[in-house]
Structure 1
Amino acid sequence: MEPDLNAAVLKEWAKVIDEGPFSSLCWGERIAFDNPDSLTLLGALSAWTERVRLVTTVVVPQLHDPVLLAKGLATGDVLSGGRLTVGLGVGGRNEDYVAAGADPATQTMRQMADRVAVMKRVWNGEKVTDSVLPVGPAPVQPGGPELLVGTIGPKTVRSAAPWAAGLAGITMDLDVDKQNELFDVARTAWAQAGRPAPHLATSFWFALGDHDTARTQVHHHLRRYMNWIPAEYVDAMAPTTGWAGTEDELAEVLHRFAEIGTDEVHLIPTSSDTGQLRRVAEAVQEFS
């Protein structure tokens, strides 16, 4: 989501992540923004990496035709050798729905679940029309990629238990106790649905450095990324949103999340500088 990205920068990030101790390489989707298209990027990442899981955090199904989205994601699963995990969410920006020609009234968990059902039919090789052959290719992972739900609300977490394998959430203020409460909602909902224990992932923005410099970096990033929110609101939330500090302090934060059973923390960069990424790699070695 940083400005002025090009193929060389994206490829370097992918290579460093793939060679490092990280479990996943994640990227998000926006339409009315200058980030790369998610499915096109998936194809490139499949070629640039060999080890790491590729995780969409998140794709918004309502912005796509579900059959074409299923085909594109299945293609990404094939190209990556079955390394794809698909995080899905309803999205928080009306302008993206308008830009994609999608109906803002479909911005609900129910509408997302309906599209998930179509995608799973495609991945299972069912015909969704009277075509001669079903829509392919068949994904490498039987039944399709693992699905995670990108949400932070208890009600929406419960609604995803029938179809999702877990959470790909976000914590704005790194409140570990509040995060654990949401995880408990998921654990209960998945058990009541007769599902295996959910994969529990959360994310937060980060910047490494002395506190003032790092906090300024986070603030600058949020000002650009959250451009649909009035700037004064972003300025008010920036001092407590995301994380800024040293490598040792980051490790301490990650330990606190590990103690509540977090399976993964997806660290959201606020700079395109791979120096930040390499420093994070050193800080998280003990968790690999």
Structure 2
Amino acid sequence: MEIGLALPQMAPDYAPTTTVSWARAIDQGPFSSVSVGERVTFHNPEMVATLGACAAVTERVRIFANLWVLPQHPMPMVAQQIGTLDQLAGGRLEVAVGVGGREHDYRALAAPFTGRHARLDENVAELKRLLAGEPPFEGADPVGPACVQPGGPRILAGAMGPKAMRRAAVWADGISGFSIAGDAAEIAKANQLARDCWAEAGRTTVPHQVSGCFFALGTDEPAVDLHAFTARYLGFLGEDLAEAVAATARASSVEVLNEVLDAAEEAGCDEFILVPASADPRCLEAVTELVAARP
């Protein structure tokens, strides 16, 4: 199982220099990918620009957009951004897509929140046509630039429940799941559901299976940092629910994080994404040491 590391872009201590310093360190370390997510009405840096910077200063790791909320955007623009990123990365781009869950982001971008699940299916179909070189409308030129990867990068689905997973099985190359608690049973259940849905859809390939969790290591009080980060990140759910979910986040020690990674590997994950709760360089150093020491 490969292990990727996300940038700590949602952490409150993210600084102007964090993107480049972390991306370079991740590229030089034992990680498989550097990833960034999308969120609009928050303090984080924008996803596409950040991924572009990562692509420019790395040579080895995959550049992972995890996760692109497609129903918020026009597909020709997304296609152009994907082509640009794949060129900058020399064909190292990977993309996970989904519907998100933050109505304020949709409102901020003047996109309807309702009907987003059905639009995602339509968005992916359109995006694939554009990445294959078809023009956005009759008489138009194709959207450029062309991807280095023929037909575009692998597209994973941020699907969670059975209904979303069945829809994703029609068009996705795999799944990109997440378990805030790093729960072994939750990760295994999601992977099995994906395999079952792929088989039901008549797919002849096994889905690429990615999962992840929040973590904190190396700081003065990693458990406190992890809880505070998770509650703040989930604040859009309301204070009570955010605190309740944050209480389940537990990957704040070497022992627990290794336990989570072992369970993810046993569950069949091809890659596991570690999402830092802090931009403290000590967190980066600690997780690099942990991953490098794994068999």
The TM tier, using the shorter chain, reads: over 0.9
Deviations 1:55-74 (Å, cap 9, x if unpaired)?
11101011111111111111
The counterpart of 1:175, out of the listed 152, 177, 183, is: 183
8 Å CA contact retained: 2:27, 2:58 = yes
Runs (4+) of structure 1 exceeding 4 A deviation are none
Q: 1:131 to 1:43 in 2, by over 3 A?
A: farther
| 1:32 matched residue in structure 2 | 41
Q: How many residues align?
A: 285
8 Å CA contact retained: 1:206, 1:244 = yes
TM-score of the superposed pair, with normalisation by structure 1: 0.93
The counterpart of 2:228, out of the listed 220, 243, 251, is: 220
Mapping of residues 225-244 of structure 1, within 5 Å: 225-244=233-252
8 Å CA contact retained: 1:149, 1:160 = yes
The counterpart of 2:57, out of the listed 40, 48, 56, is: 48
The counterpart of 1:249, out of the listed 242, 252, 256, is: 256
Deviations 1:16-68 (Å, cap 9, x if unpaired)?
11110101111110011121111111211110111100111101011111111
The counterpart of 2:162, out of the listed 147, 154, 158, is: 154
Secondary structure of 1:205's aligned partner: strand
| 1:273 matched residue in structure 2 | 280
Partner amino acid, structure 1, of 2:20: K
Unpaired runs of at least 5, structure 2 = 1-9
Task: State how far apart, in whole Å, the 1-side matches of 2:101 and 2:140 are.
Answer: 38
Q: 1:229 to 1:188 in 2, by over 3 A?
A: closer
8 Å CA contact retained: 1:169, 1:201 = yes
The counterpart of 1:164, out of the listed 154, 159, 172, is: 172
Q: 1:132 to 1:177 in 2, by over 3 A?
A: closer
The counterpart of 2:271, out of the listed 250, 258, 264, is: 264
Task: State how far apart, in whole Å, the 2-side matches of 1:119 and 1:234 are.
Answer: 34
Worse overlay, 274-283 or 83-92: 274-283
Task: State how far apart, in whole Å, the 1-side matches of 2:40 and 2:173 are.
Answer: 26
| 1:68 matched residue in structure 2 | 77
Partner amino acid, structure 1, of 2:47: S
Secondary structure of 2:211's aligned partner: strand
Worse overlay, 179-188 or 72-81: 179-188
| 1:20 matched residue in structure 2 | 29
8 Å CA contact retained: 1:87, 1:150 = yes
Q: CA deviation at 1:99?
A: 0.5
Task: State how far apart, in whole Å, the 2-side matches of 1:208 and 1:4 are.
Answer: 15
The counterpart of 2:198, out of the listed 182, 190, 208, is: 190
